[in-house]
Structure 1
């Protein structure tokens, strides 16, 4: 890829770090009574703020999180703030057996799912970290786990289409401005000598591009069944996602990071607003605007290859 094309992507990242004033407010969200929603990683940061707003608008929300104690504390906090109670769903996206168990648990309780927020993620973790299934920790958690979870929940999403007032169900995937910065390197998705020589930042960026690619594939494959799939850059947000790099976090916090409620805006718009139905498969940017990801996200051949690879890895 040419120098000027990469420079263009970098310029886009900088623009999105300073998006200006939002024209969308949570107050714009319609009543969500009767809507069943899952938010992965919802016990902290953007996910927690997303659940708070959803509860305030009367949705039934499942907080899909790895740590029960932290989730229980977050659910209590939300109850005190909203007088509504989220429901804990145990989910460790880095462990495929946990993903399958979580999907089974949800489907045993609910027949319908109206919105799935693929919000959880890990960022800049130590290079030594790999999942128990042998994936790079960031790719395994951010991409593989969410892919499997969404696929297993399709029966409930399809049922949600039939009961939704707008006759659609939605899958909203949190990507990042990092999606602009690196393309896919297939030799680093799993444990390998090359992966160990690749920086954690690059591995994170490719996982976020993969999120956008998979989200577009979901839109293409299931649009005729009423599924709306969007990916998004939530903006530069001050959350525990940056906990693995304190120095970088301190610098970013001083210059570009916004509070967590701002990070929830774009995905709340994607998951709740009628206008979002007109943008199936698109990439959203701060705050609640339609943008463009890097060109690989729109490469159908690449998307089909990644989809086939993921299906093989999770044995679907």
Structure 2
């Protein structure tokens, strides 16, 4: 368990160990606080124009003001209205971005919902799976044509980074009978489990990994020079108040978890380390853990049948909702 939350001591320095991102355009979702906020700051300091994805304009503006006070170097940060609570709104956000920009070099799917009561949306989808899976799926797929065009430009280095969690190899995510080939399976409440909210969360984190892996397979098959990387950011001391046992979580996090910029190091490594592009066969379709190391996937995350089931069932569910997304 400790290997899941601790950070290996590293000499990683984002100022010298990340690419110069001058002229590059980046999106980071869920970025008005926590890991996303720090990721925006570090990538902007490398010269990028970074879109801070958040659904609350006031919080986003406050975050941008704080970032500017901390210093962004030659980079720039703008707000992108990204609300993942409805996949249609996620698509709207992607289309809005494409009206504003002619390129997208790096997409970091950072936003996530933590544990909470089971709630179904008006579309009959688990709200947790909407935020953690369906909406990022739609957001990424809608942006993909622009990323493909960007990948054809001179000096292009296009990457899609999906934040998962070591939770993908825990709890219900380890069920060998998992299929993920229907709405009922994806939407499962696990009401009889001791901690049903945790059970649902582990499934959503498994979905992140499976999505990123199947995406890379389809990108390769289509001949697109784009890297899809999935990762676990490590134990980061944020959002203890949103965990199942807040008081205990705060104490635990204060002892074992990192704070501030260090929590974003692996996200930034995946997004902008020259090593990732220089050695694509080492890092492509790999599960990264702090800081920039290759981690071990859980058994279900290795299942190609499960990844394909999830991909196909997700497309079918979205089609049933009238949400049309581009082919890979």
Do the structures match in fold with TM over 0.5? yes
User: How far apart, CA to CA, are the structure 2 residues paired with 1:131 and 1:240?
Assistant: 24
1:105 maps to: 96
- Is 2:169 aligned against 1:180? yes
| Residue 299 of structure 1, aligned match among 294, 299, 303 | 303
1:136 and 1:188 in contact (8 A); partners too = no
Spell out the pairing of 1:1-316 with structure 2 (5 A cutoff). Answer: 13-27=1-15, 28-83=17-72, 84-125=75-116, 127-163=117-153, 165=155, 167-182=156-171, 183=173, 186=180, 187=184, 189-190=186-187, 194-198=189-193, 199-223=196-220, 224-240=223-239, 243-245=242-244, 246-277=246-277, 278=280, 279-315=283-319, 316=325
Partner of 1:10: none
SS in 2 for 1:148: helix
Counterpart contact for 1:35–1:113, Cα < 8 Å: yes
Per-residue deviation, residues 29-81 of structure 1 (Å, max 9, x unmatched): 12100111000001100000000011111101111111111001001111122
CA gap of 1:283–1:139, structure 2 versus 1, over 3 A, is: same
CA contact (8 A) 1:78 1:85 kept: no
Change (3 A) 1:144 1:114: same
CA distance in 2, matches of 1:216, 1:45: 25
Pairwise CA RMSD: 1.8
CA contact 2:6–2:257 (8 Å) conserved in 1: no
Give secondary structure in 2 for the equivalent of 1:163.
coil
Q: Is there any run of 5+ residues in structure 1 with no aligned partner, and where? A: 1-12
- SS of the residue aligned with 2:38? helix
SS of 2:20's equivalent in the other structure is coil
Counterpart CA distance in 1 for 2:84 and 2:144 is 17
What secondary structure, in the 3-state scheme, does the structure 2 residue paired with 1:172 have? Answer: strand
Query: Would the aligned equivalents of 2:240 and 2:253 in 1 still touch at CA under 8 Å?
Result: no
Change (3 A) 1:268 1:35: same
Equivalent residues of 1:114, 1:164 under 8 A apart: no
- Alpha-carbon contact 2:29-2:108 (below 8 Å) kept: yes
* Distance in structure 2 (CA, Å) of the matches to 1:234 and 1:309: 28
Indicate the residue corresponding to 1:3 in structure 2: none
Tell me, in whole angstroms, the C-alpha distance in 2 between the residues paired with 1:177 and 1:260.
Answer: 20
Shift of 1:301: 1.2
Structure-2 change in CA distance of 1:128 and 1:304 (3 Å): closer
Deviation at 1:244, TM superposition (A): 4.3
Structure 1 residue 133: Cα displacement? 2.9
Aligned residues: 300
With normalisation by structure 2, the TM-score equals 0.86
1:241, distance to aligned residue in structure 2 (A): 6.5
Structure 2 spans left out of the alignment, 5+ residues: 320-324
* C-alpha displacement of 1:138: 2.1
TM-score when scaled to structure 1?
A: 0.89
1:77–1:85 CA distance, 2 compared to 1 (3 A): farther
Corresponding residue for 2:322?
A: none
For residue 21 of structure 2, give the secondary structure of its aligned residue in structure 1: coil
